[in-house]
Amino acid sequence: MDRDDVMRWVAGYERAWRESDRLAVDTLFTEDAAYRASPYEPSGIGLNAIKEFWANDAGRTFVMDARVVAVDGDVAVVRVYVQYLAPNEQEYRDMWILRFAPDGRVSDFEEWAYFPGQPYSAADDTS
C-alpha cells in the first residue's frame, strides 16, 4: 500500500458513506473485517455488522476531509475531519487505523473520534 492507494480507498469509503451505499461495503472491507468505532468498544465483525453500523448514518449530510498521516506496509493512519450538517450538527476530528488485506480491502478498521467539548482526561470528566 502507498498513500495514493490509501486515499483511493478513503475516497471510495466517503462516496459509499455519502450515498448510503451499503452494497459498497463488500468492495471496501473483507468478509470477516473487524470494525471498531472506538478503540474501547468491541469490534463489529463481518460485512453485515458494518452495514448495520452504517445504517445509523443513512441520509445524513456531511462534509469530510481526509489526509494520510502514515503508511507502513499494510497499515495506514488517516486523519479525518467530518462535520455533520443540519438538523443534527456535529463536528469530529478522527484518526483511522486501517489494516489492508492483499486485495486492497480493509480487514481491520479502528476509529479514534474526538469532538468539541469532549474531556481530554479523567480529571476533566464532570459526570
When divided into structural domains, the chain yields a total of 1
Full-model pTM = 0.88
Q: Is the per-residue pLDDT at 74 higher than 90?
A: yes
Which triple of cell numbers denotes residue 65?
A: 476531509
Instruction: Say if 83 falls within a structural domain.
Output: yes
CA angle 72, 8, 95 (to 5 degrees): 55
Instruction: Say if 120 falls within a structural domain.
Output: no
In tens, the pLDDT along 21-59 reads 889 999 999 999 999 999 988 999 999 999 998 887 777
Q: Report the CATH number that the domain containing residue 110 is assigned in CATH.
A: 3.10.450.50
Q: Is the per-residue pLDDT at 6 higher than 60?
A: yes
The domain in which residue 65 lies consists of 3-115
CB count within 10 Å of CB 80 equals 19
Three-state DSSP class for 28? helix
Instruction: Say if 60 falls within a structural domain.
Output: yes
- Per DSSP, 43 falls in state P
User: In the structure, what pLDDT confidence band is assigned to residue 124 with cuts at 50, 70 and 90?
Assistant: low
